[in-house]
């Protein structure tokens, strides 16, 4: 995503009603204090007890917002580390006004500061950065280090769904599954030719780009 320095994007994020920030939650008009006051209180953010699903590395939000449009009884939180990319998702939400969508600008490493144990129903990872050097393996979002974090915030029968065009990253991700104590529930090396896994598939921005170039899309769904 070549959108890293759009002037004013941080100001938009600081003021947007669709963005949840640290110390964002209030009670009786009073701030609940520093840190992620929303942790364990997401039902208050959305005003309902619907399941919460998150996309980590959401990009401009195409996938998450289409999911939210199709599933009004599920709440969605999009996580993105770059302000200028998140800005595009906020701009879409300003038009669509989906009540079941919120965004967070943060580095995924801190995910356990934001969600309590078992608070999340499903995690989506789409076209995650590959971090090709071995010494950076633990930064890959499907790494065992991240799976340990997902294990904490996901409810017991929650799943992680991962899509990518990157074969090396996918093979790495598959190897990490048993190492982290997870199991593969479903897997394909060509999502768009897999009638079952592709049913109801929502294309991400990167998926549209790579599949239009003829590249296969890899996907797994994993559980503990």
Measured CA distances, 114 to 20, 106, 179 (Å): 10, 10, 25
The 10 Å Cβ neighbour count of residue 212 is 9
**Tokens 């364990």 sit on residue:** 40
Binding characters for ligand SAM, 92-131, by CB under 6 A (x = yes)? ---------------xx-----------------xx-x--
Of residues 138 through 157, those in contact with ligand SAM by CB under 6 A are none
Of 77-85, 88-96, 179-187, 210-218, the segment contacting ligand SAM by CB under 6 A is 77-85
CA atoms of 126 and 124, how far apart (whole Å): 6
Smallest separation, CB 49 to ligand SAM (Å): 27
- Least separation, in Å, of the C-beta of 117 and ligand SAM? 20
When binding is defined by CB under 6 A, the residue of 13, 80, 161, 170 that contacts ligand SAM is: 80
**Number of residues located near ligand SAM, criterion CB under 6 A:** 19
Could you give the maximum distance between any two Cα atoms of the chain, in Å? 54
Binder to ligand SAM among 20, 77, 79, 154 (CB under 6 A)?
A: 79
- Is residue 222 within the footprint of ligand SAM (CB under 6 A)? no
β-pairing, 120-126 with 183-188? unpaired
Q: If we measure between CA atoms, which residue out of 76, 71, 54, 193 comes closest to residue 125?
A: 54
- Out of 51, 82, 151, 186, name the contact with ligand SAM by CB under 6 A: 82
Name the one range near ligand SAM by CB under 6 A: 14-22, 24-32, 46-54, 198-206. Answer: 198-206
What order of strands is seen across the sheet that includes strand 154-164? 101-105, 75-80, 52-56, 120-126, 154-164, 218-223, 183-188
Query: Catalytic annotation on 134?
Result: no
Task: Give the residue among 120, 129, 123, 106 at the shortest CA–CA distance from 153.
Answer: 120
Q: C-beta of 111: minimal distance to ligand SAM in Å?
A: 8
Q: How far apart are CA 203 and CA 209, in angstroms?
A: 10
Residues forming contacts to ligand SAM in the complex (CB under 6 A) are: 1, 56-59, 79-82, 85, 107-108, 126-127, 129, 204-207
- Catalytically active residues are 129
């Amino acid at each position: 995503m070549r959108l890293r320095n759009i002037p004013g994007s941080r100001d938009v994020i600081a003021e947007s009603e669709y963005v949840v920030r640290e110390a964002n939650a209030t009670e009786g008009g009073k701030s609940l204090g520093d840190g992620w006051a929303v942790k364990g209180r997401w039902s208050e953010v959305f005003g309902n007890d619907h399941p919460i699903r998150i996309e980590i590395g959401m990009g401009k939000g195409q996938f998450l917002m289409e999911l939210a449009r199709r599933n009004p009884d599920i709440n969605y939180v999009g996580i993105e580390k770059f302000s200028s990319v998140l800005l595009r998702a906020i701009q879409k939400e300003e038009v669509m006004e989906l009540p079941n969508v919120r965004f967070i600008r943060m580095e995924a490493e801190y995910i356990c500061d934001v969600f309590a144990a078992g608070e999340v129903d499903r995690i989506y990872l789409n076209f995650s950065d590959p971090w090709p050097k071995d010494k950076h393996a633990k930064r890959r979002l499907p790494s065992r280090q991240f799976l340990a974090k997902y294990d904490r915030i996901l409810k017991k029968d929650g799943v992680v769904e991962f899509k990518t065009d990157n074969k090396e990253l996918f093979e790495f991700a598959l190897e990490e599954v048993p190492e982290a104590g997870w199991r593969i529930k479903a897997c394909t090396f060509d999502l768009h030719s897999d009638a079952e896994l592709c049913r109801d598939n929502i294309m991400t921005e990167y998926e549209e780009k790579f599949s239009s170039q003829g590249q296969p899309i890899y996907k797994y769904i994993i559980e503990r």
